[in-house]
Structure 1
Amino acid sequence: MPDRTSRVIVPIVVITGVAATATGTYLHQLPDPPAAVAAGEAGERPAPATTALLPETAESLGLVRVSYRLHRIPTHASNQIAVWIEDADGAYVRTLFATSFTANGGYDRRPESLPRWRQTAGWADASTEEIESASRPAQDDGEHTLYWDGTDRDGVPVRPGRYTYRVEGNVLWERRVLHTGTIELGTVASTSRAEVEYLPEETREEPVLVEDVRASFTPGEPLDPGTVTTFTRGS
């Protein structure tokens, strides 16, 4: 596999709260959204449904923020995280974040690293462009926010509807957490909170890696991809 651990990329997903030691600068930070009204193990991936192609001139519906609190665990075989979007039918839409060790092929050496995300995304067959757009440095403790502009893995705007956001984390070796929530995209602002699943249940006894996972959608809010430049490094 070619070396994919260091690249200059221009993604359309913006990440705040990245480790201060990362060799890159995030140039675009968006303000917190206005108050919004709360909205109401994987097999083969289904074909996309709500992400069906729109006309090329169609604009994205708005901006989704996925936020969470991270607690780094001082041990090996831990701290691997992936955040991604699925449509209402469970079809993969886009990866917002994946720690660069796993995203760039570390799962060959550590197969238990983020298996739900890798299977859902078909990551072994991901293009170089998609890997570059998702791969990020490991994050430090604290609050983190990812921004999704409402486009799929090919940059095509998705249709209005309910979407699922997931945060998978390797707590220790094969012990993982999976946070899952849904968010409505349309003409009305919405917010939600994710629920956590421990895989296996004994993971509940391990230190907390990710908590307070939530999302918000602001209709009509744009994100300019040309304002962001970053680097990736090993994690």
Structure 2
Amino acid sequence: MPDKSIRLVMPIVVISGVAVAATGAELLYGQPVTPPAAAVPARSAAPSRPAADSLGLVRVDYRLTRLPQHASNQLAVWIEDADGRYVRTLFATSYTANGGYVRRPMSLPRWRESAGWESATEAEIQSASRPAQDGGDHSLYWDGTDRNGHPVPEGTYVYRVEGNLLWENRVLFTGSITLGEAADSSSARVEYLPEAARAEGTMIADVRASFSPGEPLDPALVTTFTRGS
């Protein structure tokens, strides 16, 4: 296995306080949500241009609270199909995505197993790996393509959000969303691993998703972070 313990995240260009990706290669992105009255989005995560024949746009929303402790605040958001087969990673904190799991094996194990992340390509790592997010409301967008950039077929897909609360203590949100001709929305259910992990704090909350058929990604919203690790 190639050594992924030290990797460089792609360069960024900061324009008016927003870090814009220096390449258009990424295919997924995330962007924090501002309150309804605000018109300008806050900074957030990565990727991409929509495939012309993709089914539409899925938006995954969640609220993040950064925990004031070590060995925590690792986060991954990814998509699986209805049979549990991995489709794509929307976001993964750079420490784990770039090989931190070698030193901290308990970091985001469900995501790493689903994605087979130890064998991920450099392009996939760069498209998903992002520095830790600030606390607040965030949105990630999926353009309906798989890890190779190919549009997925109509059907029901599973979105998952995994977070490390403290060492091996984790939280996992799971929800489903149907891609087709009609709009769809759902809320995710929460599971603490182990159940006693609830006592370590609330890192992630209000996880939900919506699907807009035929809606493309807006390249103007392709941004990445300016801080963190």
Could you state the TM-score of these two structures normalised by the residue count of structure 2?
0.82
For residues 82-108 of structure 1, give each alpha carbon's deviation from its aligned partner in whole angstroms, at most 9, with x where no partner exists.
Answer: 000000110000000000000000000
Q: Give 2:67's aligned amino acid.
A: I
For the pair 1:17 / 2:32, whether they are aligned, the reply is yes
Partner of 2:62: 68
Q: Give 1:220's aligned amino acid.
A: G
Partner of 2:187: 193
For residues 11-38 of structure 1, give each alpha carbon's deviation from its aligned partner in whole angstroms, at most 9, with x where no partner exists.
Answer: 22221129xxxxx88799xxxxxxxxxx
CA gap 1:119/1:192 in 2 versus in 1, 3 angstroms: same
**Does structure 2 conserve the Cα–Cα contact (< 8 Å) formed by 1:64 and 1:215?**
yes
Partner of 2:105: 111
Superposed counterparts of 1:151-170, under 5 Å: 151-170=145-164
**Does structure 2 conserve the Cα–Cα contact (< 8 Å) formed by 1:194 and 1:213?**
yes
For residues 35-58 of structure 1, give each alpha carbon's deviation from its aligned partner in whole angstroms, at most 9, with x where no partner exists.
Answer: xxxxxxxxxxxxxxxxxxxxxx97
Q: Give 2:68's aligned amino acid.
A: P
**Runs of at least 4 residues off by over 6 Å:** 24-28
Partner of 1:84: 78
The CA RMSD measured in Å over matched residues stands at: 2.3
Tell me which protein shows more strand as a share of its residues: 2
Structure 1: which 5+ runs fail to align?
19-23, 29-56
**Which whole-Å CA distance do the structure 2 matches of 1:80 and 1:178 have between them?**
12
**Does structure 1 conserve the Cα–Cα contact (< 8 Å) formed by 2:73 and 2:203?**
yes
CA gap 1:199/1:137 in 2 versus in 1, 3 angstroms: same
**Which whole-Å CA distance do the structure 2 matches of 1:4 and 1:233 have between them?**
16
CA gap 1:175/1:154 in 2 versus in 1, 3 angstroms: same
**Which whole-Å CA distance do the structure 2 matches of 1:61 and 1:130 have between them?**
22
Superposed counterparts of 1:1-235, under 5 Å: 1=3, 3-8=6-11, 9-10=23-24, 11-17=26-32, 59-225=53-219, 228-230=222-224, 235=229
Query: Larger relative CO (CA 8 A, sep 6+): 1 or 2?
Result: 1
CA gap 1:196/1:231 in 2 versus in 1, 3 angstroms: closer
How far is 1:159 from its partner?
A: 0.3
Partner of 2:16: none
Which deviates more, 199-208 or 60-69? Answer: 199-208
Could you state the TM-score of these two structures normalised by the residue count of structure 1?
0.80
Partner of 2:37: none
**Which whole-Å CA distance do the structure 2 matches of 1:82 and 1:89 have between them?**
20
CA gap 1:234/1:102 in 2 versus in 1, 3 angstroms: farther
**Which whole-Å CA distance do the structure 2 matches of 1:26 and 1:131 have between them?**
13
